[in-house]
A and B are shown apart, each in its own frame.
Chain A
Amino acid sequence: MLAEPLFIVLSTAAVIGALGMLISRNPVAGALWLILTLFCVAGLYLTLSAEFIAVVQVLVYAGAIMVLFLFVIMLLNLGSLPLMEKMDWKKGLAFALCLIVLTQLVFVVATGLEMLPAETGIAADAGSASTIAKSLFTRHMLEFEVIGVLLLVATVGAVMLAKRNFV
């Protein structure tokens, strides 16, 4: 009913945002394009009825990570860098590599679909916070603790690296 046109609009906007990040000269403009993509991906999670992940996507990616990126871009006061440089054969090689990766991924998607187990359909509360929390705090408890330690280490490491007289 509504999900199909919504998917088309959101996925088109997500791809446009990603391409805009790819070709924009100014890093601030690139970050803003990427924020558009992240919001569209959050909308796609909603079309999959994964509400918790959609909210976390907006909070963590669009809220925290992109603010960090914009803060660093403005702190360093970067001008626009030139988009295309010399070394044509390297760019050609990179373009060929991108095409190969895309072909491979689409080929895997196209040929591997029948190997998947049958679709069971989305349960009513498959993406709700309580369902995910139940799995997170029982079956994946150890990973959850390890992620906490990882974030602590990352915080300490970021402060150490960004200190003035570290290197």
Chain B
Amino acid sequence: MEVALSWYLTLSAVLFVIGVAGVLFRSNLIVILMSVELMLNAANVALVALSQSMGEVSGQVLVFFVMSVAAAEAAIGLAIVIAIFRNKLTVDINNINLFKW
């Protein structure tokens, strides 16, 4: 492998932290869901890099499963966003605080 494994792992860490920042800073529900997708992608980068570096194919099978779960999560999450928007007419999480006491 020409590119060192640590570079891929560092890139994965950076992408993951940008996803964390998106979840923490933004108040748009759809942007938060997109940030979660970005975090799943960052984990996938680390899995594929480690799998190819060790010559073990199970990591890529795991990435396949993560992608399936991400697709299911996006479908359910966006359906929930549509249901919330129908009731509240907003996707700003500062206005959706049903559980706040």
Contact = CB atoms under 8 A, between A and B. Distances in A.
Interface of A: 1, 3-4, 7, 11, 14-15, 18-19, 21-22, 27, 30-31, 34, 37-38, 41, 44-45, 47-50, 52-53, 56-57, 60-61, 64-65, 68-69, 72-73, 75-76, 78, 81, 83, 85, 91, 94-95, 97-98, 101-102, 105-106, 109-110, 113, 116-117, 119-123, 126-127, 131-132, 135-136, 139-140, 143, 147, 150-151, 153-155, 157-162, 164, 166-167
B2 A4 contact: yes
Contact of B87 (A65, A91, A167): A167
Identify the interface centre among A91, A95, A106, A166: most chain B CB within 10 Å of its CB: A106
B31 A53 contact: no
A137 B49 CA distance: 22
Tell me whether chain B's interface is mostly helix, strand or loop, or mixed. helix
Contacts of A157: 76, 79
B96 interface: no
Nearest to A65: B74
A38 B72 CA distance: 18
Nearest to B75: A158
B55 to A, nearest CB: 4
Given A69-B30, A123-B55, A102 B14 contact: yes
B3 A3 contact: yes
A18 B67 contact: no
Contacts of A122: 1, 52-53, 55
Contacts of B2: 1, 3-4
Nearest to B85: A76
Contacts of A135: 57-58, 61
B71 A21 contact: no
Contacts of A37: 15, 38, 41
A101 B42 CA distance: 14
A57 B9 contact: no
B17 A102 contact: yes
A95 B76 CA distance: 29
Contacts of B80: 161
Nearest to B25: A94
Nearest to A97: B24
Contacts of B7: 7, 11
Contact of B31 (A27, A41, A140): A27
